[in-house]
Amino acid sequence: MTEEIRILMCAPTHYDVDYVINPWMEGNIHKSSRDRAAEQWEGLYKILKEHAIVDLVEPQKGWPDMVFTANAGVVLGNVAVVSRFYHKERQGEEPYFKQWFEEQGFQVYELPKDLPFEGAGDALLDRDGRWLWAGYGFRSELDSHAYLAKWLDIEVVSLQLVDDRFYHLDTCFCPLTGGYLLYYPPAFDFYSNRIIEMRVPMEKRIAIGEADAVKFACNAVNIGNKVIMNKVSNDLKQRLAKVGFEAIETTLSEFIKAGGAAKCLTLRTTEPVQVEVHANTPVESRVIRLEGHLLDSGLINRALDAIVEGGGSFQVLSFELGEQRQSTSKAEVKVSAPGYGIMEEILSRLINLGAVDLPADQRDAKLEPVLMAGVAPDDFYVTTIYPTEVRVDGQWVRVQNQRMDGAIAITRTPDGPVARCKLLRDLALGEDVVVDVQGLRTVRKPEARDAKQEFSFMSGSVSSERRVELVVEQVAWELRQIRDRGGKVVVTAGPVAIHTGGGEHLASLIRDGYVQALLGGNAIAVHDMEQAMMGTSLGVDMKRGVAVRGGHRHHLKVINTIRRCGNIAAAVEKGVITKGIFYECVKNNVPFSLAGSIRDDGPLPDTQMDLIKAQTEYARLLEGAEMILMLSSMLHSIGVGNMTPAGVKMVCVDINPAVVTKLSDRGSVESIGVVTDVGLFLSMLVKHLELLTEPYKLPTQV
């Protein structure tokens, strides 16, 4: 027996599964045998008494989970921090555990009542006493870690749990003597796994599989080289033995029905203080403000989900509900994260939702100079599609040329600071670049609480289950509205539009004034003109649907012919091209841009093989667009999407649902995906436009 080690337990006198507060309890209410539970608890008790002094706290009727003393609190030296249970079913245990700690002479600390923390279930000391591993995500809040660091005077390392079966840290994580660690990696998020890997050398990490994890292999008691645990696999026992540990098994199946095993049933109350170790917690906290129709639009839920999914935690400090149906609501939320990098990522996502990082009216954006042309400072803010404002010299400045995946460059002029969204390659010496997320806000239209919308693009979804014809009808209606008010529609299309028979319908849209710019690649132009000149596309007869002899050479003959003419416009003027998409573009003065790629044949003289110049031309033609039709060209459509600011309606059409989802999911609510054959879509679109009987009048030339 090692007298220096003391362990607290509680007899299972009143133990039963009386309720469900974790996945293990589901289906097990009142199915635990009290006799078997007593027998199994006694077995663990006897084993522990051989290696430590075991103290007992008196069980209390009505609190069946008091047997799990690991959740009484956490102890270091003569300091005990008692638990604040998340679920009301266990909150009645708190005064009994507090009384026991006080009677033993501990200096007792209590967290605020609204701040959950569940003791050594979520707070495990490194066995060398270097730091305290602290879990959060299901039962304990991240904000509790700052209190632990202060009161225990030790560095706290925060780990986020992501699998609700392992709702406490001690169910999937067991620090062992000598710096070893027994743990189940899938129970943690990516960031937490990286922290574990940085703190614990690979040769000392004992990662287990799911089969052992669900037997609560990590919910073990470590005393010296002994690891006392529930029944586990022979392979795990051999791995432990290989690094000097002896696994002592004891069956605890009755307690697993409630979600606990050996470690849950114990609390180590003699944890020596390392005098050279002191408090240090990287937990960052910021307060953000949200305003809008927070409930009806789901904005508040999306914001809180973004915090949790990003690895943080939150506390709603205030919520002011709009008094009238049209009134907006306001909320202030405290955001906590286990480090600066995580906090910055969370705040970036929240800013995209329209949140303001407080006190925004008192903090300018952080700026750093461009030291090398075409290279941004480290930690530069990456722009999104949403209209953005940046606070410079005490004033909010709207960012010009808004687009995705750029940097914000600041230049100072006699009229004040100017902010522009620029690609990295365009950054110039003498400019400053916004870094961090301080002093930034997005300007978003209030998301309406009224379900009735003028146009259903606001659904921001993919129409794989709804009737495609209904969506086409809506698109046709919007196209007609844009055309009649002199607006701008841009089409980006791939060669599939030709292969599926959609070429003639797209040509009709251009001829009738529904398209103001066309973006694509070398292939759509080649195959459109192949169809116009030879009646084939990729060598397939478009009327009969069969390959023609020598058809595989048709596209090369077309390229050669256009190159002889000089360009597409010249071929039209010479009568070489007499119909088709690009014929209509030339005849109706609709500008087009073709971006080349490494796989292009030819290419056509009009194809821009300098991709930087092609991107610039694309961006120029997209200026002022109200709607973009993306027709079966994922490569070009993704590029277009990245160049397009929020507020532009987007229709993504492809037969592949994965492509449609990727193109539609840009964070914009003003997009819709249509999973269908693009030729069929264009045919239906033209028919619906023909049903709109109001005559279209060409503007009078002045």
Of 174, 264, 421, 652, which residue is the catalytic one? 264
Rounded CA separation 393/305 (Å)? 33
**SS3 of residue 247 by DSSP:** strand
DSSP class of residue 133?
A: E
Mean pLDDT across 559-574 = 95
Rounded CA separation 641/634 (Å)? 10
Entry field: residues in the chain = 702
**SS3 of residue 282 by DSSP:** coil
Nearest to 331 by CA among 365, 354, 306, 361: 354
pLDDT digits (tens, 9 = 90+) for 363-377: 889 999 999 999 999
Of 145, 168, 636, 688, which residue is the catalytic one? 168
pLDDT at site 192: 92
For residues 288 and 582, which has the higher predicted lDDT (pLDDT)?
A: 582
Mean pLDDT across 521-533 = 94
Place of tokens 């954006």: 365
Residue 635 has pLDDT above 90, yes or no: no
Residue 290 has pLDDT above 80, yes or no: yes
Res. 572 pLDDT band, cuts 50 70 90: very high
Nearest to 254 by CA among 18, 34, 59: 34
Mean pLDDT across 389-413 = 92
pLDDT at site 343: 85
Count CB atoms within 10 A of the CB of residue 550: 10
pLDDT at site 701: 52
DSSP class of residue 603?
A: -
Q: Nearest-5° angle of CA 529, CA 534, CA 540?
A: 95
pLDDT digits (tens, 9 = 90+) for 498-515: 999 999 999 999 999 999
Rounded CA separation 494/27 (Å)? 54
Residue 150 has pLDDT above 60, yes or no: yes
Mean pLDDT across 178-198 = 94
Res. 451 pLDDT band, cuts 50 70 90: very low
Is 264 a residue of the active site? Answer: yes
Place of tokens 């940085």: 198
pLDDT at site 300: 85
Residue 449 has pLDDT above 50, yes or no: no
Residue 341 has pLDDT above 80, yes or no: no
25 Cβ neighbours under 8 A, 6+ residues apart = 17, 19, 257, 258, 259
* Distances, alpha carbon 612 to alpha carbons 128, 591, 643, 645, 698, in Å: 56, 19, 13, 19, 36
Mean pLDDT across 616-637 = 92
Name the average pLDDT for the chain. 88
Residue 359 has pLDDT above 60, yes or no: yes
User: Among 59-73, 76-90, 100-114, 663-677, whose mean pLDDT is lowest?
Assistant: 663-677
Mean pLDDT across 293-320 = 83
pLDDT at site 464: 45
Mean pLDDT across 562-581 = 95
pLDDT at site 273: 77
User: Among 64-78, 99-113, 385-399, 546-560, whose mean pLDDT is lowest?
Assistant: 546-560
